[in-house]
Structure 1
Amino acid sequence: MALKITHDCINCDVCEPVCPNHAISQGIEIYEIDPDLCTECVGHFDVPQCQPVCPVACIPLDPEHEETREQLQAKYRRLVGIAS
């Protein structure tokens, strides 16, 4: 399941640089996470890197983009160019 940033975001810019997939970018009002790039850091780290650095805890799981760990791992492999 991809993560999302809620409207509680204060645009502090701490989440964007810690994302290994470059899935986080500044949106029109707040930072946004591209679900096609978000692997919840699977393949890079044991836990998502954006959640612990967020000072307002506004990065929950996105129920509109449910994925299993296996699907996240496959997405990671595709993003970094590793053949299945």
Structure 2
Amino acid sequence: MRFKNLHVEDLDNNPNTVLVFKSLRSNGKYRFFYLLLMHDYLVLASKGCFPAVNGQPEKWLGGTDIEIPKSGLSWFINAIEQKFMKTEAEG
């Protein structure tokens, strides 16, 4: 990892954020994903609310998930389109 782990409390107001999207989890809560441009890298970070356990309150967990050099962005986009955006019939 080239960068220090981004902390969940720093994600919402990070000036390097270019995109935020969310995914509904099975517990009815959302997980948030952040794409940030930092230096010559695209950084994917996320956060989600961890449920209350053993009397402890729920809390936000997450941070940096992956760092991709800008030079690898075309590969990254192609991989998503070719591997994750196809229907089951398309393979």
Task: Kindly indicate whether structure 1 or structure 2 has the higher relative contact order, using CA contacts under 8 Å at least 6 residues apart.
Answer: 1
TM-score for the superposition, normalised by structure 2: 0.31
Larger-gyration structure (1/2)? 2
- Greater strand fraction, Structure 1 or Structure 2: 2
